[in-house]
Amino acid sequence: MSTISIAVVIINVILALLFSLGAAPILVWIERRVAGLIQDRLGPNRCHINGIRLGGLIQSFADMLKLVFKEDFKAKAIQESFFFSLAPVIVFASAFLSFMVMPFADDLIINGERFIMQGLPMDLGVLWFLALAGLSVYGIMLGGWSSRNKYSLLGAMRAGAQVISYEAAMGLSVVSVLITYGSIHLGDIVAYQGQLLFGFIPAWGIIIQPIAALIFIITAFAEANRTPFDLAEGESEIVGGFHTEYSAMRFGLFFVGEYVAMSASSALIVTLFLGGYHLPYLNTQTLQAYMPFILMVLIVALPLGSWSAMRWIQKHNRWHKANDIRNHESAFLQKGLIGLNVLVIAGVGALLVLGLSETSTNVATAVIQIATFALKLLFMNFVFVWVRWTLPRFRYDQLQTLGWKVLMPLAIANIFISAIIVVARGL
Amino acid sequence: MGIKIVPRHGNTLKEKLYLPAIFGGMKTTLSHLITNLSDTPEIKTINYPEEQPHDISERYRGVHRLTKRDDGSVRCVACFMCATACPAECIFIEAEERNDGVDEKMPKRFDIDLLECVFCGACVEACPCDAIRMDSGIFSFIGKKREDFVLSKEQLLANEEKKA
């Protein structure tokens, strides 16, 4: 193994960590701030480190620290303490591992060596995700059962029944997608979505397979235990559901696991239906062919975007009390933005002036694709949060009815239709 | 009185699909989010300890105060009406004779335990001399130990009426 290949593997692992584990505090922040703003409240905005509060992001880190240092309390009635401790680990690990097959960028070619840009370079793709996402419910059921608490047990039962009814519909909707793309490898699926449909529409999954996309997104909400399908928690009915008896970092693992699972589901939705790492109309080949132009557009667009961001910061990022240390934050953020601009423009300008070699074009493509993937992932996560603060929770029988009587027949019908279309096109 | 027939909802295809209603709801929440990020936010929250609430009514029942006569002495005559009326039994009065010729009796001690008090205002209603009122406008009272919450006669006399 050469130095470059080791470096690329390490970068891949770090990126996978960032997108899943590193995203958890950011997602908690987004959840709380978006919830506040949607409900005409402020949300957490006071916590700061030397005046820097990043719109309240520091609060997430403070909360994490609190969870780590809290007393690890366990009720006396809990006898199966091994399973009690194992449960959050299963939830967290399965959510975390299911993220590892998401491709962040097209295969990177450096000096003739080909690297698959995902956390674990394997081509199990969708199957890996389905296997591990289904595993996480064992953690919930184990936790609910070993808690020795009727509310926990009720939550665990609900989670189990919910996953059984929604995993079927999810699997079937994925089958129709796989029939269309003809591969289970997520890299191939994304490459397929780089094409154009009828020559002018990007062939994204949501356009080719709208019904499968709808079913998959709905079942992904259920799979990640998010509202409107968060009956397993059901804090208004069964205290805290499966994590009633959990505290400190054991609860923290459940909590982070939920957000990692949400991020993993979003990543799969992006990969299957929203074109993965592709910018619309720019698949890898066109991106590489027009790289100088795209870099020039970047040089123009980045300062414009930063300028409007700075104007927003000047107007809104104020602390209501004069002479507070938090008032220095705006200047700091603006300096940071200017510094970022100078760095990026200098780097890209140097690339353009010196001329693009093949390797640098490939690396630039990968960076642009990773940024695109990150943005799409962020958007999809925002949709998860947005839906949570819009819709109320389903009643238990409504949930079962929707799963078995609506989504499942729809998914089966969709398989037949897509199979007929694929065969007819092949004739 | 005629019979009003309420039409049943939820039977048309559009309503059974649920999705139009869901997207409508998501549009509403998104419009709130965008408004609150824009130049004219409609956020109702105040930044509490720095910004004080401005919509507390004049009739708000805050921490009690003992009123004074024109000469500045305590108006209370230690008749125990408030302590009798109190449902939480949080008023403790010890009476003494008043020798300055203004009245016959006055409280030696007049303690109110705010941790017991339910802020019902029954003491104010019961007082025949208008000696106890709850118009100080103090809505948050802070102490570091339980004893801090037992207000003495001097503390109650020091509370001023809230100026509008």
A403 within 8 A of A222, measured Cβ to Cβ = yes
CA B38 to chain centroid, in Å, comes to 35
Residue A121: cis peptide before it, omega within 30 degrees of 0: no
Residues of A in contact with B29 (CB under 8 A): 38, 386, 389-390
Instruction: Calculate what percentage of chain A has a pLDDT beyond 90.
Output: 2
Range list of H helices, A21-110? 23-38, 57-69, 81-98
- Can you tell me the mean pLDDT for A229-251? 80
Most B CBs within 10 Å: which of A31, A42, A314, A399, as the mutation test of the B interface? Answer: A42
- Can you tell me the mean pLDDT for A197-212? 81
Judge whether residue B103 has pLDDT over 90: no
Distance from CA of A197 to the nearest CA of B (A): 26
Q: Is A140 exposed, middle or buried (0-12, 13-18, 19+ CB in 10 A)?
A: buried
- Split at pLDDT 50, 70, 90, the class of A1 is low
Rg (Cα) of chain A, in Å, rounded? 23
How does the average pLDDT of chain A come out, rounded? 84
Distance from CA of A40 to the nearest CA of B (A): 5
DSSP class of residue B141? -
**CA-closest candidate to residue A60, choices A309, A333, A256:** A256
Residues of B in contact with A387 (CB under 8 A): 26
Q: What is the pLDDT of residue A209?
A: 84
| ipTM higher than the 0.90 cut | no
- Of A187-196, A370-379, B91-100, least confident by mean pLDDT is A187-196
CA A248 to chain centroid, in Å, comes to 25
Please report how the helices A57-69 and A248-273 are oriented relative to each other, as an axis angle in degrees rounded to 10. 140
Inter-chain residue contact A39 with B42, CB threshold 8 Å: no
A148 within 8 A of A75, measured Cβ to Cβ = yes
pLDDT tens for each residue of B39-78: 778 888 888 888 888 888 888 888 999 998 888 888 888 8
- Can you tell me the mean pLDDT for B30-46? 85
Between the alpha carbon of residue A34 and those of residues A28, A38, A54, A290, B103, the distances in Å are 10, 6, 14, 37, 63
Inter-chain residue contact B26 with A315, CB threshold 8 Å: no
pTM for the full model? Answer: 0.83
- Split at pLDDT 50, 70, 90, the class of A366 is confident
Q: Closest residue of A to B41, CA-based?
A: A40
B101: three-class secondary structure by DSSP: coil
Q: What is the pLDDT of residue B164?
A: 63
User: Residues for chain A: how many in total?
Assistant: 427
Residues of A in contact with B44 (CB under 8 A): 40-41
Distance CA B63, CA A292 (A): 72
Inter-chain residue contact B43 with A37, CB threshold 8 Å: yes
Distance from CA of A388 to the nearest CA of B (A): 10
Q: What is the pLDDT of residue B124?
A: 92
Which residues fall within 8 angstroms of residue A242, CB to CB, at 6 or more apart?
A140, A141, A143, A144, A147, A152, A155, A156, A159, A232, A233, A254
Residues of A in contact with B48 (CB under 8 A): none
A238-263: b (≥16 Cβ within 10 Å) or e: bbbbbbbbbbbbbbbbbbbbbbbbbb
Instruction: Calculate what percentage of chain A has a pLDDT beyond 70.
Output: 100
Judge whether residue A288 has pLDDT over 80: no
pLDDT tens for each residue of A11-36: 888 888 888 888 888 888 888 888 88
Inter-chain residue contact B26 with A390, CB threshold 8 Å: yes
pLDDT tens for each residue of A262-275: 888 888 888 888 88
Judge whether residue A53 has pLDDT over 90: no
How does the average pLDDT of chain B come out, rounded? 87
pLDDT tens for each residue of A67-103: 889 888 888 888 888 888 888 888 888 888 888 888 8
Distance from CA of A365 to the nearest CA of B (A): 33
Judge whether residue B87 has pLDDT over 90: yes
B interface with A, Cβ–Cβ below 8 Å: 19, 22, 25-26, 28-30, 32-33, 36-37, 39, 41-45, 47, 50-51
Which residues fall within 8 angstroms of residue A189, CB to CB, at 6 or more apart?
A125, A126, A177, A181, A183, A205, A271, A272, A276
- Can you tell me the mean pLDDT for A180-186? 82
Residue whose token pair is 């006071």? A46
pLDDT tens for each residue of A106-142: 777 777 777 777 777 777 778 888 888 888 888 888 8
Sheet strands (E) in A47-159 = 108-110, 113-115
In this complex, is the C-beta atom of A309 within 8 Å of any C-beta atom belonging to chain B? no
In this complex, is the C-beta atom of A40 within 8 Å of any C-beta atom belonging to chain B? yes
Q: What is the pLDDT of residue A272?
A: 86
Count of alpha carbons within 13 Å of A219, Cβ hemisphere only?
29
Q: What is the pLDDT of residue B125?
A: 92
A246 torsion bin: left (phi>0), alpha (psi -120 to 50), beta (else)? beta
Inter-chain residue contact A320 with B26, CB threshold 8 Å: no
